[in-house]
Structure 1
């Protein structure tokens, strides 16, 4: 008995990649789950691997783990060569009602993947007696909270602890309260959108730091005298240091290192500097905001900028970046979006996208959000309006993940 992947039609449209963040107990992103959108023509994730092959697997080269949805058929057909086993975790759906022979065949496939260096993730059904031979090979057990009654969640976690050394990843976490309850049960990894929920927090210490970033942004936006900005930065050495790190490390292709703010203005100009000053906001979150919120905002920003590159003039691409970056401003600063936006001197179309979901940047933002949620209808509507192919979106999406990983590393130093 052998397993073969379904034939891939050369004329069918490529799948579009969606992602969900995987966060740790402190709500910092430690990995992503990559999967085909629900409306994909195949359910074996063959098109996901086609998309990774077309766009390159560099997205797996950053500091984060990438959970790649991968069928047994894909594994059996030898399509894993494009993945780096040091970074890729194979998240494998389990077949229903397997015979003993089927369980044995699939165990051999799992064993080969482990010998090749891959870590494996299966859902909680791997704890059933029929799959006992698989359990020692599993690194992660995916616990879908929507598939289990509340009374069974703790029992399943306990069973996983007793029978396996695998880490548990709790999927579809509802809110911070559920996250905290699971954390107390020993769960260390979580997947879901709950971390993006705005929380109003009045933390004077954190807000003072954010106020400094907003002050810097407004000085740059209004093209204040360089001497005035330099005087301000002398009192904010941390902001100055991070800003210069961003500028010197983010692919400008500059032939010389930027050594001061005045030098940066001469080389880049105020408009380009504004976006880098805005990035500082993602590293100065309000006390209740998850670190994952800042990471998500940076991915959205870069994704929107890349998608806009061939459709809008350069200055509009910078504004698309700002829309993505500030699309989680309410979460990052802990106040309602309207209150947050009014404190900044943003371009009119940027404010319109954030406050009214309108204007030229609205479909770009809708598309960026759909890449996170797997919303088939929203994705098709936005991609159709922008006349972007799945291939174009996939390429931009993976490049945005790489770039955001680099930015996060700089911002944390």
Structure 2
């Protein structure tokens, strides 16, 4: 698969209940040693690659059935390629630099009549923007308003300004809880920004007992512990044991085999499947809505992507792949569970290799983790020399990221069945 040497990522778009509504797909180039990474600016090139990605991976795997928001401008509109993507799950974002000429308006109108959906991106509440983009208003379902480019007074009036135009208002660059609350009070229905992906730990608290058991089990698996030790943990957790039995039944790990003990169940499921299942259980809330939170998705995606990347770098027979998964998981678990990484390390007694990778980004896996963190942070710098030292390309990173998304969709399906 060709990614034209740039990195593809996605950012969630949430509704007023903070549930995922869709994802915007973002592009960035890896910078040279001196240059800061930046968002890739060729809309035509990125759109072509997205078509390629969706056709190869399948849009459902990449969005879990939610909407995909994709940037376009007049060049891609005029090339008549939009109809290769599914009209019911893709929203085309017309970027603010688009030349809204007569031919473009006519093309958008024709696509809209055929059932395609459009958004206006980075809209500024000014007379210039209204004059420029008003010809497109009848064909636009979503209006994305940049919180940082519009004054608070205009934001407060936005619902009244667009009353009766049948456009859903989306607030962009929502970076704090205050931003979210303010924009919601202003009448916005959808929200996008780093606030939903990178909240800070507000206060220190202990790991919940049930989750501590799961973390211990994951640590045991990472250290290739004996089956006796794993069985002992399950014996003192009847609820977890029951869910294990339900999982085996739902996923048909055994072909209608009678399960005669916890040990037998552990043998049937295998260490690899057990590790992935425990990861899901770690993040399951009391209500069971594990995948409601974008944070939980991000943590699981980080874990599996780091595992895939370690295999890419060190080979299919790499013995540290389980460590890579666990390190990726722990790198995000502090903001998910609300505890510091240091306290977490003490509570589950991980081996030095994992501790150093998570806390200090040391070692071969710590180095890979640092690269993934740079990729995930749109404001961070991705240095080509780091990738080159590991014989990695932007295409390699994008490939493992999308394979990770495919895996995440599969895990969501498994969890929903038990």
Fold conserved between structures, TM > 0.5: yes
Aligned with 1:328: secondary structure? helix
Query: What's the CA shift for 1:213?
Result: 2.8
- 1:187-223 Cα offsets, whole Å, 9 max, x none, are 232211113223345789x934423433544565643
1:12-411 to structure 2, matched below 5 A, reads 13-37=4-28, 43-57=41-55, 58-61=57-60, 62-95=64-97, 102-123=100-121, 124-125=123-124, 128-160=130-162, 162-195=163-196, 196-200=198-202, 207-217=208-218, 222-223=225-226, 225=228, 227-236=231-240, 239-240=243-244, 244=248, 248=251, 256=255, 262-267=263-268, 269-270=270-271, 273-284=274-285, 291-312=293-314, 313-375=317-379, 377-378=381-382, 380-411=384-415
Q: 1:216 to 1:392 in 2, by over 3 A?
A: closer
Cα distance in 1 for partners of 2:269, 2:241 equals 21
Is the contact between residue 313 and residue 391 of structure 2 (CA under 8 Å) also seen in structure 1? no
Structure 1, unaligned runs of 5 or more = 1-10
Aligned with 1:36: secondary structure? strand
Cα distance in 2 for partners of 1:314, 1:359 equals 15
Query: What's the CA shift for 1:153?
Result: 1.7
- Bigger mean CA offset, 65-74 vs 31-40: 31-40
1:7 matched residue in structure 2: none
Q: 1:42 to 1:407 in 2, by over 3 A?
A: closer
Aligned with 1:294: secondary structure? helix
Q: 1:197 to 1:43 in 2, by over 3 A?
A: same
Query: What's the CA shift for 1:142?
Result: 1.0
Query: What's the CA shift for 1:309?
Result: 2.0
2:32 matched residue in structure 1: none
Structure 2, unaligned runs of 5 or more = 30-36
Give the TM-score, by structure 1 length: 0.81
- Bigger mean CA offset, 334-343 vs 39-48: 39-48
Aligned-residue RMSD, C-alpha: 3.5
Cα distance in 2 for partners of 1:367, 1:52 equals 23
Q: 1:106 to 1:188 in 2, by over 3 A?
A: same
- Bigger mean CA offset, 164-173 vs 109-118: 109-118
The number of residue pairs the alignment matches comes to 391
- 1:147-199 Cα offsets, whole Å, 9 max, x none, are 12222222234323x14222222111121122122223332322111132233
